[in-house]
Amino acid sequence: MKLIAVSLAAMLWLAGMVTTVVPRTPQNEWKADSIYTIKIPAGYRDWKLISVAHEAGKLNDLRAILGNDIAVNAYRAGKLPLPDGAIIARLAWAYTPSEENNKAFGNPQSFVAGQPTNVQFSIKDSKKYTLSGGWAYAQFNQGQSINVAVNATCFACHQAVKDRDFVFTKYSH
Amino acid sequence: MKLIAVSLAAMLWLAGMVTTVVPRTPQNEWKADSIYTIKIPAGYRDWKLISVAHEAGKLNDLRAILGNDIAVNAYRAGKLPLPDGAIIARLAWAYTPSEENNKAFGNPQSFVAGQPTNVQFSIKDSKKYTLSGGWAYAQFNQGQSINVAVNATCFACHQAVKDRDFVFTKYSH
């Protein structure tokens, strides 16, 4: 039943149905609480770069993964699990062809960051978020927190990298 | 003749023949000098994010564009031309499919930063680099400066955005 619930959450996420309400079982009750208490961390746009990525498919974005000092210092030192206080910010923008760049390169090869899509945060607190590996997740669209379903589906998906403290992104030197 | 030289430089760049020696005419003589005096700016990996991009084709990379405080403050204030002292760093990594992420997403859609390819810097000094719009350019592969051809071809290509102080990248909010 647990596996089915996780799979369902993952499927909803993959289908982009992020506003769908996940059934409130005891398993995800904590997520409903935690998401409402998470605010956008001050100054995150100034944080250091961890890495970059491109998600094709329905997401179709270019993304930057930034970290606060606690996160970046741990990454650089190769320390896992990340310490309490670490926050990872994932910024994403529409994957946008650049006509200007293509003209300069003489080839239709250049894709740049268009309009921002959303910002996600992974916040480490091993004492507070005990039911989800020490992590809380939040997503903000145009500065507004979106509903509980995202937080539930985040953790389900991050199970794939449980042996790396549930963190997908590796540091890019 | 000038146009032909610029086109030739651009073609060499596009062909990826960055180690080809550009003929030393008076036009690019300064570039030969300047590139040898440019060192990797200290602490650039800690700089703030300006934007991200993906170059397909032969470059086939994911890139992050960072700026020192002078550059980022000017970008955020919408100030052009960028002031002296501004430095833009372009980091690039091999465009690499992530099997791990694809499995989590259930779709072959995820591309991450692989091995680093090279780092380029654009350095603003309107008094020093008078022959190239106030900009000097440098590229480092594995920490080593590469030869003069890159610097010559950089400026040729950046002519495309002369009206934005020769800067391609726009700030991503």
Q: Does A162 touch chain B (CB under 8 A)?
A: no
With vertex at residue A156, the alpha carbon angle to CA A131 and CA A167, rounded to the nearest 5 degrees, is: 85
Give the dihedral of Cα atoms B31, B33, B36, B41; nearest 10 deg.
-70
What is the distance in angstroms between the Cα of A146 and the nearest Cα belonging to chain B?
A: 19
Give residues with Cβ within 8 angstroms of B110, minimum separation 6: A53, A54, A55, A56, B97, B98, B101, B102
Is pLDDT above 90 for A17? no
Decide which of A145 and A92 is more confident: A92
Residue A91 lies in a domain: yes
Query: What are the Cα distances from residue A77, in Å, to A44, A63, A106, B68, B105?
Result: 21, 23, 41, 23, 29
Residue B12 lies in a domain: yes
User: What residue type is assigned to position B117 of the chain?
Assistant: T
Is pLDDT above 60 for A20? no
Is pLDDT above 70 for A168? yes
Is pLDDT above 70 for A33? no
Least confidently predicted of A13-22, A157-166, B28-37, B51-60: A13-22
Least confidently predicted of A7-11, A34-38, A119-123, B48-52: A7-11
Place of tokens 């996780």: A6
d(CA B58, CA A43): 37
- Report the pLDDT value the prediction gives residue B31, as an integer from 0 to 100: 45
Q: CATH number for the domain including A155?
A: 3.50.70.20
Over residues A41-58, the pLDDT tens digits come to 999 999 999 999 999 999
Residue B173 lies in a domain: no
CB B142 within 8 A of CB B26: no
User: What residue type is assigned to position A156 of the chain?
Assistant: A
Chain A contact set for B111 (CB, 8 A) = 53-56
Domain residues for the domain of B122 are 2-164
- Report the pLDDT value the prediction gives residue A82, as an integer from 0 to 100: 98
**Considering its fold, how many domains does chain B have in total?**
1
How many cross-chain Cβ pairs, A to B, lie less than 8 Å apart?
122
Residue A62 lies in a domain: yes
Residue by residue, DSSP assigns A5-55 as: HHHHHHHHHHTT-TTSPPP--HHHHHHHHHHHH--PPTTGGGSEEEEEEEE
Residue B172 lies in a domain: no
Residue A170 lies in a domain: no
The ipTM value here is: 0.80
Is pLDDT above 70 for A62? yes
| Interchain CB distance below 8 Å, A53 and B160 | no
Q: Does A3 touch chain B (CB under 8 A)?
A: no
- Report the pLDDT value the prediction gives residue B124, as an integer from 0 to 100: 95
Is the pTM higher than 0.90? The answer reads: no
Cα B33 to chain centroid distance, Å, stands at: 18
User: What residue type is assigned to position B15 of the chain?
Assistant: A
- Report the pLDDT value the prediction gives residue A148, as an integer from 0 to 100: 60
Count Cβ neighbours within 10 Å for each residue of B87-96 and write b for 16 or more, e otherwise: bbbbbbbebb
Residue B96 lies in a domain: yes
Q: For chain B, which ranges sit under pLDDT 50? A: 1-36
**Which structure tokens are listed for A57?**
């498919």
- Report the pLDDT value the prediction gives residue A142, as an integer from 0 to 100: 84
Decide which of A115 and A155 is more confident: A115
Residue B75 lies in a domain: yes
Which of B63, B116, B157 is nearest residue A104 as measured by Cβ atoms? B157
Residue of B nearest to A43 (CA): B48
Strands (E), chain B: 48-55, 61-67, 87-97, 110-124, 135-141, 144-145
